[in-house]
Amino acid sequence: MLLIPAIDLKDGFCVRLKQGEMEGATVFSEQPAAMARHWLDQGARRLHLVDLNGAFAGKPKNEAAIRAIVDELGADIPVQLGGGIRDLDTIETYLDNGITYVIIGTAAVKNPGFLHDACSAFPGHIIVGLDAKDGKVATDGWSKMTGHDVVDLARKYEDYGVEAVIYTDIGRDGMLSGVNVEATVRLAQALRIPVIASGGIAAMADIDALCAVEEEGVMGAITGRAIYEGTLDFAAAQARADALNGGPA
């Protein structure tokens, strides 16, 4: 089980949101590159970046901070990035600049042809992000609910060739209320590609619960507020996940 620290970027700073509300952002660091180094030193084997301004604007907005993080990490660990990615040129630029995986969310729902083209142009580098509440997908930084069923969409994207699906329960993200394991497993069982859980991780009990379902296809989990506020010790959590599931993935 791969635990993936999240660095959410707003106005160049590392922040966390509650349920996607930009106005409620808590700044945890004014130096995102130093924070990235911290998580690497704590044993992270992948990093999750989100350009929050980009997600709302529909185009990249935190390029300087992203570049600084990639420069700081070098080739030490893969970095996955989402937020405001709406065209192939943006994907190519990010990959050329050292990002390993590009996450497409809103654009995948609104323009599935773009996702299909991205998977064809950049095989092995495209992850789809599906944010859902009560099984229905949300878009535009969670500001708009759709009628799309998350499992149905994920199956379609799997056929396109996406590398993995990040599933976020937006009712729990940033709330430290526990992972929606049941919904995550339901999605993973419906797919052949891996699912990365996101939203709600609060404590070691959530790590135990996720490790128990790893064989269902849940390859990892993104954690944010818990590791910043100290309800979860990242290094201890990754060590526990490795111990429960037989060592590093």
Catalytic residue, chosen from 8, 51, 169, 173, is 8
Q: What is the 3-state secondary structure (H, E, C) of the chain?
A: CEEEEEEEEECCEEEECCCCCHHHCEEEECCHHHHHHHHHHCCCCCEEEEEHHHHHHCCCCCHHHHHHHHHHHCCCCCEEEECCCCCHHHHHHHHHCCCCEEEECHHHHHCHHHHHHHHHHCCCCEEEEEEEECCEEEECCCCEEEEEEHHHHHHHHHHHCCCEEEEEECCCCCCCCCCCHHHHHHHHHHCCCCEEEECCCCCHHHHHHHHCCHHHCEEEEEECHHHHHCCCCHHHHHHHHHHHCCCCC
Whether 8 sits among the annotated catalytic residues: the reply is yes
Q: Is 208 a catalytic residue?
A: no
State the catalytic residue, choosing from 11, 51, 87, 131.
131
Residues annotated as catalytic are: 8, 131
